[in-house]
Amino acid sequence: MKKNGLLLTLCFLFIYELTHAQIWTEYSSFYPAVGLQIGSSGLGLQGAYPLSPEFNFRAGGNFVPSVKLKHNNQFFELKRSNAELFFDWQPLYGGESWISRKWILSVGASYFFYNKAVVYVGSENSDEQPIDYTVEWSQFRPYVGTGLNGIRIAYHFNLAVNAGYFIPTSETKIVPYAKDPSGISHIRDRLNSFPNNILPGMQLQVGLNYIFF
């Protein structure tokens, strides 16, 4: 009798774990995963680990490849790299709809090792082009955002889409090199006016994740 009772208990636990895992898989958008991402913070890697069916932790880093772009007849280069941490919450967990199983809210923070734009002298690109001035944005930035997570595209692969805002913690700084310092106040006013003042903090990112399960 004791052996039968032990066997029944083990069977019950096994069935419970299978059912629990199925519920997690069906209703939660969170899985242990690692993946590639691309967006306004650049190219990067990110890892994720669920703390529960409703809560998730993410950590990663990004960089923007070095390339000169032309705007208003002048060349500039965006220098940006960061490390980031996020906590996600699935507020509609347990709902049957697709959006209930995918929609998340996120909070976190990022530290930017580089977060600046280098503006060069002249309208012609060259390897030894002198710097006119640099625009430097906050390095440490809290984050709030939302997104869709766990969008299945294959058995072991999910897509994630995140949008949000990195909140500035200091004023925009402008460092002149060749630029006449008398023109700096005009540039600062332009950068601190809408929509230029919010663009450096905007976040839009798409990730392709490999799921471990």
pLDDT tens sequence across 28-66 = 899 899 999 999 999 999 999 999 999 999 999 999 998
- 149 phi/psi in degrees, rounded to 5: -130, 155
State the pLDDT at residue 11: 54
CATH number at residue 169: 2.40.160.170
Share of the chain above pLDDT 90, in %: 59
Average pLDDT along the chain: 87
Residue pair 34/210 in contact (Cβ under 8 Å)? The answer is yes
Full-model pTM: 0.82
How many structural domains is the chain composed of? 1
**Residue 206, pLDDT above cutoff 70:** yes
Range of the domain at 133: 2-211
CB 140 within 8 A of CB 101: no
Report pLDDT digits (tens) over 145-195: 999 999 989 888 999 999 999 999 998 999 998 887 777 888 888 888 888
Q: Give Cα separations from 18 to 22, 24, 75, 93, 150 (angstroms).
A: 6, 10, 58, 19, 20
